[in-house]
Chain A
Amino acid sequence: MNRQHRIEITRRSMLRSAAAAAIFGPLFKATEGSVSAQPTVNRNSAPSTLKITDMRACRVAANYDYPLIRIYTNQDVYGLGEVRDAGVEGIALILKAHLVGKNPLDIEGNLRILRQFANHGRMGGGYSAVDMALHDIAGKVYGVPAYRLIGDKNHDRIRIYADTTSHPDPKVYAERMRKRREMGLTFFKMDLQSDMLADRPGALDERGVCTEKGLGYLCEYIAAIRDVLPPDAPLAADHFGPLNINDSIRYARAFEPYRLAWAEDLLQVSEDDQYPYLNWQAYKTISDATVTPVLTGEDIFGLQAGFRPLLEHRALDAIHPDIETSGGLLETKKIADYAALCGIQIAMHHAGSPIGGFAGYHCAATFGNNFLAMENHALDMPWWQDLVTGLPKPIIDKG
């Protein structure tokens, strides 16, 4: 914030409160006795004097650890947030000194100060966790669900897509996918690691990338899994291996007959020093060369220095932010709205607890028609939904 501007505000607000005290002070005194006669005025909380007092954390051991935080206030209301899965809670706790004493309802102002401590990947986790906790507090104080703070509820149901662990035997792999279908899910994702083919002669080159023969084997997995799914069900694929731009194009073209919902994070090897997921020129080259939809973005923080170039250059068919890295509800809503403006679809990555899950569901509820589905990575962990109370169970009801 501009320093001069800040002082102006301080001076003005001081004058205003001084003037108000001078003018209305005696008036309030005179009517003090009649205040209790107004039953509609709730005096249980005083939002304008709400202050952050503390931030604490714990870490749940799961398939990817869940670092959880609580932000406490001086009025008995607290907020829950979650740092990016497989991250550390310290990335949120270092922000504590910048928040204590601040009004948690000043969400954008507080986040603006924290932005200098946020970056892509797990480094976006602290900022994102604080955003969630601030929206939790604000929703509780104003008595509204968190989505109401960022937009309208455009989606009554949030579609959940299933991540499915792979197996080198296509029959076993297809059986795992059939169980996902039996759970009632309607949107599926499979991992297609090239190194599943390590034991098959001639399937991989010296870099661990599929030869034409290897690509044929990968397509056999897709065909086996397509067989156990409804013919119209969306099926996405992820985790291909150490692909460069040309590898990515070869893979994506080989998958075209199977009409994947998307091929995720294809590019893993970037010739320059950029993170592959920020290399919009490379992704543009890949997506221009194939009709398989191309998607990335689970490690990107923020709109301005993150998703914006990918969206403006239409380098992807869909983006895939993780609300525990992308910047929480407020930033991810901006990202989704900008994606809609650019004609790009949005799915949501998620491998965390129900805390980050609900932050994502609330956010996704406000998205436009470009929303596809949000991931759940804990379908094989029955206690995932037992980590929280206060909600109708099962949380994931038929996807």
Chain B
Amino acid sequence: MTIPDDRPGLGLELNDVVVKEHLRRSGFFEPTPLFDDVIVSGFRTGGPWPHYDETGKWCNCVTYE
């Protein structure tokens, strides 16, 4: 097979009609709010947990500054 040089990225689009004919279960790129969780970690800025703010200031930590 050959790769076209004039198509940016992977160079293809889905054929929505054919893909919808062959779905394992209903749902074609539906919203995924279940996966909108905020991942809480020291790397996450903003919020009531210890973190660095945008200026680099260490916030919301009671044990040390």
Residues of chain A at the chain B interface (Cβ within 8 Å)? 3, 6-7, 10-11, 14, 54-62, 65, 68, 70, 79-80, 93-94, 96-98, 100, 132, 135-140, 142-147, 153, 156-158, 160, 354-355, 358-359, 361-362, 365, 383, 386-392, 395-397, 399
Name which residue of chain A comes closest to B56, CB basis: A7
Known: A3-B43, A146-B11, A389-B13. A55 touches B32 (CB 8 A): yes
Known: A60-B23, A397-B1. A145 touches B9 (CB 8 A): yes
Interface of B is mostly: loop
Interface residues on B, range: 35 or more
Contact in complex: A383, B14 (CB < 8 Å)? no
Contact in complex: B10, A358 (CB < 8 Å)? yes
Contact in complex: A395, B1 (CB < 8 Å)? yes
Bound Cα distance from A55 to B36, whole angstroms: 10
Known: A68-B14, A140-B9, A387-B15. A392 touches B4 (CB 8 A): yes
* Any A CB within 8 A of the CB of B64: no
Q: In the assembled complex, which residues on chain A have CB atoms less than 8 Å from the CB atom of B4? A: 145, 391-392
Contact in complex: A139, B9 (CB < 8 Å)? yes
Q: In the assembled complex, which residues on chain B have CB atoms less than 8 Å from the CB atom of A146? A: 9-11
Can you spell out 15 A-B residue pairs with CB atoms less than 8 angstroms apart?
A3-B52, A60-B24, A62-B22, A93-B32, A94-B35, A96-B32, A137-B9, A145-B7, A146-B9, A355-B14, A362-B11, A383-B22, A390-B12, A392-B4, A395-B1
Q: In the assembled complex, which residues on chain B have CB atoms less than 8 Å from the CB atom of A62? A: 22
Known: A54-B32, A143-B8. A158 touches B22 (CB 8 A): no
Chain B contacts with A in 1-53, Cβ cutoff 8 A: 1-5, 7-15, 18-19, 21-25, 27-32, 34-39, 42-43, 52
Residue pairs across A and B with CB atoms within 8 Å: the count is: 147
Contact in complex: B2, A157 (CB < 8 Å)? yes
Residues of chain B at the chain A interface (Cβ within 8 Å)? 1-5, 7-15, 18-19, 21-25, 27-32, 34-39, 42-43, 52, 54-56
Out of A10, A96, A391, name the residue touching B12 (CB < 8 Å).
A391
Contact in complex: B14, A156 (CB < 8 Å)? no
Out of B19, B42, B43, name the residue touching A60 (CB < 8 Å).
B19
Contact in complex: B15, A93 (CB < 8 Å)? no
Out of A6, A54, A65, A136, name the residue touching B10 (CB < 8 Å).
A136
Bound Cα distance from A365 to B21, whole angstroms: 32
Q: In the assembled complex, which residues on chain A have CB atoms less than 8 Å from the CB atom of B22? A: 60-62, 383, 387
Contact in complex: A58, B38 (CB < 8 Å)? no
Bound Cα distance from A281 to B47, whole angstroms: 49
Bound Cα distance from A146 to B10, whole angstroms: 5
